[in-house]
Chain A
């Protein structure tokens, strides 16, 4: 079974600075997708960024980028120029090539300090 581990229950960063959230996963599949989702307090899950395992190039979306290390099974999220609106729970998620249900990590609570 696939597992996703987020080892940082909580992270804190000063506004405008950069923060990196860690995620590792375990799988025996070669074809899969990885995601970072953001869940603000009492609000719905929002997709932040997606990475296809077959792509060597790391995905980027504006201030958000990933460091995908396939051999190490690591998928970290870097947030540059942190903003107050980035404060939320961030979940790392995995799905196999068959696109069945997502497997989520336990989440990292990101605090942005003004």
Chain B
């Protein structure tokens, strides 16, 4: 088990371009979460998946943002027509939830992708 991985670690793009980030969760985890963290703030929840189903989307997730988890394993987060306000660290986390007693739902985080929009 190598933990949650994210690629790329850094992305610099020009305003108006599209970007895509990838997250690989811990292998046995069925839930995958995306967060955004701006400088000096705590992470803010964007969306999450249970297996391949996207169960919740925050109001922070504008129409320019789309996330997928097609086979219930890795996930991608795409931002279309990037704006300078999209500059942030994008964090991915995963957890194991089986719905029974003792399900801890502890989320383990990846190293993040830092996006800079020029």
Contact = CB atoms under 8 A, between A and B. Distances in A.
B66 interface: no
A91 B44 CA distance: 12
B100 interface: no
B58 A47 contact: no
Interface string B83-118: 000000001010101000001111111111000000
B44 A104 contact: yes
Interface size class of B (residues with CB under 8 A): 20 to 34
Given A44-B111, A45-B91, A106-B41, A100 B55 contact: yes
A50 B104 contact: yes
Given A33-B105, A35-B106, A47-B106, A103 B45 contact: yes
Contacts, number: 62
Contact of A50 (B40, B47, B106): B106
A35 B56 CA distance: 21
Interface size class of A (residues with CB under 8 A): 20 to 34
A107 B42 contact: yes
Contacts of B47: 101
Contact of B43 (A47, A52, A104): A104
Given A99-B97, A102-B43, A33 B104 contact: yes
Interface in B70-92: 91
Contacts of A53: none
B69 to A, nearest CB: 15
Nearest to A99: B105
Given A102-B35, A104-B43, 6 more contacts: A44-B112, A99-B103, A99-B105, A100-B56, A101-B46, A102-B45
In the complex, the 4 A-B pairs of residues with the closest C-beta atoms, listed nearest first = A101-B45, A104-B42, A99-B105, A45-B109
Interface of A: 4, 33, 35, 37, 43-47, 50, 52, 91, 93, 95, 99-107
